[in-house]
Each structure stands twice: as C-alpha cells, then as structure tokens.
Amino acid sequence: MANEVRNIELEQPPAAPQVRKPAPVAPGGMRMSVWPGRPYPLGATWDGEGVNFALFSEHATKVELCIFDPTGMHEVARIALPEYTDQVWHGYLPDARPNLLYGYRVHGPYDPPNGHRFNPNKLLLDPYAKAIHGQIRWSDAHFGYRVGSPRQDLSFDRRDNARGMPKCRVVDTAFTWGGDRPPGVPWEETIILELHVRGATMRHPSVDHQRRGTFAGLISPPFIDYLVQLGVTAVEFLPVQAFVNDRHLVQNGLTNYWGYNTIGFFAPDPRFLSSGLIPEFKTTVKRLHDAGIEVFLDVVFNHTGEGNHLGPTLCFRGIDNASYYRLEKDRRFYTDFTGTGNTLNIDHPRVMQLVMDSLRYWATEMHVDGFRFDLAPTLGREKGVYSQDSAFFDAVRQDPVLAQLKLIAEPWDVGPYGYQLGNFPPGWAEWNASYRDTVRRFWKGDTGLIAELASRIAGSSDIFGYRGRRPWASINFITAHDGFTLHDLVSYNEKHNEANGEGNRDGHDANFSWNCGVEGETDDPEIVKLRDRQKRNFLATLLLSLGVPMILAGDEIGRTQKGNNNAYCQDNEISWIDWEGIRPDDEKLRDFVRYLVALRREHRVFSRPRFFRGEAVSAAGLKDITWVVPEGREAGPEDWHNPFALCLGYVLGGAAGEFYTPGGQRDIDESFLVLMNAWHEDIDFQIPKLPVEMEWEQLVDTTTASGLAETRRVLRAGDVFKLEARSFALFINRAEERAARTDPTGAIHPEAPLTVVPPVAPEMPPPDDEETA
C-alpha cells in the first residue's frame, strides 16, 4: 500500500564486503538492510557506500529513524536504531543514498516536572541535519501536549505531526572548491556590511526574479560589482541557519524575517536556496572570496525556536529536553537568559559538542570566515554565571580551526549581569553599543559628551585596551538590523512599529534619534538638506574612527523602514532594499561612502593596529593623536569637563603611526586634521600650532551635497576656518613633516602631559536584544 509504514529490524552485515546494488527507497515492497553502524560522527553521514545515522539522547529508551518518499509527505519506513553506545543511538543503512528524506521519533518518559518531554507521535528534526526539505505547516499536532487542555503541558498529545513537519535530507558534501582561499583581510583593515540575504536583492532590478532573495541572487554580477565598488571587505549575513517561523506570526500574516529562531545549526534555511541544494551556498562563498570579500555568519546558539514550556516539539525538546536546555529548579520550566523562552544548555558536553561541531562545519565545509554570536554572554555562562574564562571560550581558543577565524560577540543578554561590553577574551571583537549611542547623541546635539566621544573615536581603549587586545576589538556601528536605519535615525523621534501588530509596544525606546524638525517624510527642502548632512556626518565619523566599522546595507542609499525600528517580522517592502527609488542625493551619499571607504583603505592612519598613546613618537615630535579645541590649542582638563562643548578636533600623525609593511619596513602615512561641530551655529576654528609645520588641504566637507570639499584652499597654523553648524571636516597635510622653526607661545610641546583622552567610564545602556524587543 502506498501509505504503509514498514518496521524494519536489524539485519546482520555480511561477513565479507559484497558488491550490492542499492535498493530504491520507495513505498511498498521495499527491502532495506540495517547494520549496527557507528556512534560517530553524529548526524546522517554518506560515506560513498551507505549512510550512517547517529543521534545523541541520554534519556531516551528507543529511537526510530523514519524514511519518507521524495515528496516528504509519506512515511515509507520506520527503523529502530539498533545500537546505543555512549549515549548515542546509531545504525547504518547500506542501501541509503544522498537526498534521502528522514526524521526521528524518540521514545522515553513524558514527565515535564522532571524535565522529560518525549513523545514518539512527533516527528523530530535531526540536530545535525545538513539540509532541510520543506517548511513547518502549523497545527496543534506540533505540540507535545494537548493545546487548550486545562493541564497545559502536563497533558499528552497523541496526534502525528509528520505531514506538517519539514524533513531532513541526506547530503553528499562533495564540492569542487578549486583554488578557493580565504581573503585573509587583517582585522584592522576589515570593513563590514551587515545584510539580510533576502532583503538585499528582492527588489534589485538587475537580478533574475527566480534568484532574488537567495544566495544565488547575492552572487549575480550586478550585486557582486556593487559590493566591490562600495569597497567593503566582508559581508555579515543575518541568520541563515534553518529557523522557525513563529506560529503567532504566521497566523497574523507575518514571518520571522530576521531569522533569530534557529532550529537547525548545520543546514542553510531552504528559503535562501533558489536551487534547494547546499552547493548554492558554497558557490556564494567561493564567488565572494574571488571578489576579495569575506563571509561572516550571524549565529544563534543561545536558544532555539522551540520556545518556552508551552512551545512546540520540533527537535531538541523531543530528543532529550533535560540535556539540551537549561531548566529551573522546577524542571518543568526553562531558564531564560535570552528573552525567547529557553536557553541552550552549553554546560552539557554534548550540547557544547553540537555548537563546536556546527562552527567547524561552517568553517571547514562551507568555508566561512567568521561568526557574529547573538547574545554571546549566554554562551559564556557556567551554571548561569558569566565568565570570559568559561568552557566555551576556552574550547574556541584552543580549537585549531576556530581560533583562526574572526569572532564577534553581541556582548549582552537578558540574564543577570548581562551587559558584558569589553569583557570578552582576547581574540574576540565586540559590537560596541557605547560607540553607537555616544555618536548618535553627539550629532543629535546632546552636551557633555566630548570626553566620551573622544574615547569612542579613538578605539575605546578604556573598554578594550587590556590583555593585549587591539582596536579592532571594537566593532563600531551607528545602525544595525535591530533599530532605525540611518535615514530613519535622522527622520523620526519616535518608533512607528504599528505594522508589527503589537500596538507599537515592541522595539527599543532609547533611539537617540532626531527628526530634524518634522516627524517622518517631508518635502521641506531645508529639513531634507539637514537630514542628508546628518547622514554624511554619521558616516564620516564611523568610517574614520579607530576600530572596525560596520555599515547596515542600504544606509548608503537612504533606505527607510518608515520609522519601524523592530522590523523582525516584516518580509516585505518595509525591510527590503529599494534599488529603484533612490534619489539623486542618495546616489551622492553612496559615492561619498565609496570615497570614505577608499580613503580608509588607502591610509592606515585610520585603521592603525595599536591604540593611541598620545606620545610624540615621530622624529619631528608629532604625537600619534593630538586633541585640539577651537582656540587652536591642545585640549586640557577644563575642555574635557566642559558640559556645553559640542565641537571637537584632532590631528592624526601619520608619521607617528607605528605601521609596518608585511616585510617589516616602516610604513609612513600622511597626517590628517578632523574637525567636528554638532552645534546649531557656525564656529570659528583656529588651525592649531604643532611641533611640525603643516599645510592643510580640505578633503571632506559634509555641508556639500557630495560631502567633498569644493575648494582646495590650503590652511596653515593660526588661520581661522569657519566650521559650519552640524558639519564634519577632514584635511590632509600636504607639507613635508619637519620640525617647526619656532616655538611660539601656545605651541604644543612633545613633553606635554601624555593624555590621549580622559578616563571615562562608559554609560552602560540596557541590553539591545532583537528577540526581546
């Protein structure tokens, strides 16, 4: 019968190897041999002759492997895995081949008060599945308990959910990588573009309709060319591992667009594969590498898409709930450090193994270059307490593969002492929310921030300058997927998240935004002009600060979400980049970003590998950085504590940069002068007197539509420059750097106090968490 499920028992393997013609997997009349197999590796592994299946479950009493027809709709065989070794259930199917669809049914006690939620009526995904077929079709059958029962999750549901569950697919990992090599961009030279795979190309007119919103769309020649012309060195994908679309979102016509709801840590989500095949992702990485662009993945190992004690049973919960999740003293309930209802139990060695195996798989098999870890403090908690010397960080540090990758932490979660900015181990970079908020507030016009701003621009050594960490530990950003876009940052005072269906209660409230006079879109030419200038101010500050800059994709062309600062559920025009509705001024903004990126990549003074020391280390006596005030003198204590200051200048000494070429030669750069005025009125800024003679030619002027200086007048010490209201100016020295002939009163002496910036304790904002927003 077509829908007959055949139970297959263990068949002993032949005494000697035999050549066997594989039997097809098809309903009715199927004969499939089952051998003991091996407990390692976990998952479904094709070895060229058959497939080994191995599943960890410490508390299960029986595990059944379920085989499905090619449509994934009909279960055609059910096989009890014959062996149990070291808490791993395993078996080998010599007749199985790649593309076989499968899932598991796991037997054991259903005892929520003691942490056990086994229910063999529920088909479960393999935690190690390399590919997923299909999507969840929601119904009450996906829950291990009877939905609506007065006993809630203490009840038991006997309905079969297989028809509405995605299936796991056996894969052949073979792929011709050719001469693929990681670009190997040094950390300090890295420039990141954060993007959503789907949103990046869904509205791109030069990408084939069939490829839009997929990995194949990202590597279309027009998009690759765009990335190369923009000049970024890395793309950071929002989560691409298989994730769950929450039931309540689907019922409301929405979706989990951001993807922070992982259910499969090895499989790319099928929604991003136009071909449905894993090689599409590998080809994407290879093409990006060919263009000199690294690939980072935003990964979510802090929780899964199964939610709290009232969530569905899709994978981990039904395989071994008590092992995979952190549970409260009353083991019916989940410890929640993530704001999503559950927390993965990294304390368990098998769960730690899952995370490490997943990371190595993406690094070795998929060739990715780095990871951004969502809610990273959760991974560093041992028995609930965060430590940068936790087992997870130690495991990563000693791993010969992972230790060579670029690792980025989102340094907060919602657990106790969850804000851990600056408290990650050497080798890690961190999203610097203090940089984001300080720069936003400064250009908004908030006072009392000059000392804090100087620290952020100079790489945040007060946060990261210990244990041999370098400036690249600070991932500087103004905007990210979570929050306003750059356009909305200068267009809205308040969030406008009505489309999310939560009464505008979701999303972050402390945005430090300013609408420049009118809330939302406007035709007022003066307000539009000011908003464009503010965008240029933000981008110039970001791309010329010490640390690693991260740009949100679309900010360079004025992308808007209409004031929605939590568009996690908006898989539509709210989130997608509009490539055709670009204003001429937005095209100029894009060109300005290209100019700044090129300037940063050409001049190492903006990406120096060491923190500033405020010392005169050049032969001519110029400091690596000199902070100056409008009077043309070096900033002193009274200036750092001025509660009303909204203007700051500094000189970057290129000859004092301590840069070296790969061959060990001294790499001398030009010197630059930066002037910033966030006040609403113009300021006369006197060009400072320095130990060396300088001739300053202006390059950047954010008061112009292009962001570039329209005149090339050369300024010298003592000249007065009119620094216009709310503007950023950059100058390059065109004179040979030699010691000044005179030492007039007010000159800056090399032996002056060596204070780079005053010590500032950064204001710690509350966790900025996309799942809890």
User: What is the number of other CB atoms lying within 10 angstroms of the CB of residue 207?
Assistant: 23
Q: What CA–CA distance (Å, rounded) separates 102 from 46?
A: 14
User: Catalytic residue among 410, 482, 624, 737, which?
Assistant: 410
Element (H, E) at 488: helix 486-489
Residue 412: strand pairing partners: 419
Choose the catalytic residue: 188, 320, 374, 768: 374
Per-residue burial over 214-250, b = 16 or more CB atoms within 10 Å of its CB, e = otherwise: bbbbbbbeebbebbeebbbbbbbbbbbbbbbbbbebb
CB distance 461 to 432 below 8 Å: no
- How many other C-beta atoms are found inside a 10 Å radius of the C-beta of residue 161? 24
Distance separating alpha carbons of residues 610 and 148, to the nearest angstrom: 60
Q: Collapse the DSSP code of 116 into the 3-class scheme (helix H, G, I; strand E, B; otherwise coil) and give the result.
A: strand
What burial letters (b/e) apply to 602-631, b meaning 16+ CB within 10 Å? Answer: ebbbbbbbbbbebebbbebbbbbbbbbbbe
Cα angle: 129, vertex 135, 140; to 5 degrees: 110
* β pairing state of 43-46 and 51-56: antiparallel
Q: Where are the alpha helices (DSSP H) in 523-583?
A: 525-543
342: tokens are 């559950």
- Residue 759 CA, chain-centre distance (Å), reads 30
- Cβ distance 236 to 480 under 8 Å? no
Residue in 322, 253, 271, 269 with CA at minimum distance from that of residue 110 = 322
Active site residue 502: no
Can you spell out the DSSP letters for 56-86? Answer: E-SS-SEEEEEEE-TTSS-EEEEEE--EEET
Q: What is the dihedral of CA 26, 31, 35, 39, to 10 degrees?
A: 20
Q: How far is CA 635 from CA 203, 663, 708, 724, 756, in A?
A: 49, 37, 27, 20, 10
**Identity of residue 404:** Q
3-class SS of residue 700: strand
**What residues contact residue 303 under an 8 Å CB cut-off, 6+ apart?**
262, 338, 340, 341, 342, 343, 344, 375, 378, 771
Judged by DSSP in three states, 428 sits in: strand
Find where tokens 């300053």 sit.
696
Q: What is the DSSP string of 631-692?
A: TSSB--HHHHT-TT--EEEEEE-GGGS--B-TTS-B-----EEEEEE-SSS-EEEEPPP-SB
The yes-or-no answer on residue 410 being catalytic is yes
Catalytically annotated residues:
374, 410
